[in-house]
Structure 1
Amino acid sequence: MKPTGTRDHLLSTGLRVLHARGFHASGVQDITAAAQVPKGTFYTHFDSKEQFGAEVLGRYWEHRASNAIALLSDEARSPLQRLKAYFASKTRDRAAGPFNTGCLIGNFSAEMATDSRLVRDRLGSVFAAWTSLLSRCIREAQAAGEIRASLQPDTIAAFLIDAFEGAVLRAKVERDATALLRFESIVFSLILT
Structure 2
Amino acid sequence: MRQTGTRDHLITTGLQLLHTRGFHASGVQDIIQAAGVPKGTFYTHFESKEQFGAEVLGRFWEQRAARTIAVLGDETRPPLARLKAWFDAKVTEREDRKVHPGCMIGNFAAELAVDSRLVRDRLASIFAAWTTLLAATIREAVAAGQITIALPPETVAAFLVDAFEGSVLRSKVDRDPTALRRLREVVFTTILVEKAAA
Normalising TM by the smaller chain, what interval?
over 0.9
User: Could you state the TM-score of these two structures normalised by the residue count of structure 2?
Assistant: 0.94
Q: Secondary structure at the match of 2:100?
A: helix
- Deviation beyond 4 Å, 4+ runs, structure 1: none
Task: Give the C-alpha shift of residue 3 in structure 1.
Answer: 6.8
Matched positions, count? 192
Q: Could you tell which deviates more after superposition, 147-156 or 51-60?
A: 147-156
Q: Could you tell which deviates more after superposition, 38-47 or 98-107?
A: 98-107
User: Could you state the TM-score of these two structures normalised by the residue count of structure 1?
Assistant: 0.96
Cα distance between partner residues in 2 of 1:58 and 1:95: 25
Task: Give the C-alpha shift of residue 44 in structure 1.
Answer: 0.7
Q: Is residue 2:117 matched to residue 1:117?
A: yes
Aligned to 1:58: 58
Q: Aligned pair in 2 of structure 1 residues 83, 29: CA closer, same or farther (>3 Å)? A: same
CA contact (8 A) 1:99 1:171 kept: no
Task: Map 1:93-132 to 2 at 5 A.
Answer: 93-132=93-132
Q: Could you tell which deviates more after superposition, 106-115 or 96-105?
A: 96-105
CA contact (8 A) 1:99 1:176 kept: no
What does the per-residue CA deviation read over 1:43-99, in whole Å, with 9 as the maximum and x for residues that have no partner? 010000000000000000000001111100111111000000011111111222244
User: What is the aligned-residue identity percentage?
Assistant: 66
Q: Which amino acid aligns with 1:42?
A: F
> What stretches of structure 2 of length at least 5 have no aligned partner?
194-198
What does the per-residue CA deviation read over 1:117-146, in whole Å, with 9 as the maximum and x for residues that have no partner? 000000000000000000000000011112
Q: Which amino acid aligns with 2:36?
A: Q
Give me the CA root mean square deviation.
1.3
Cα distance between partner residues in 2 of 1:189 and 1:143: 19
> What stretches of structure 1 of length at least 5 have no aligned partner?
none
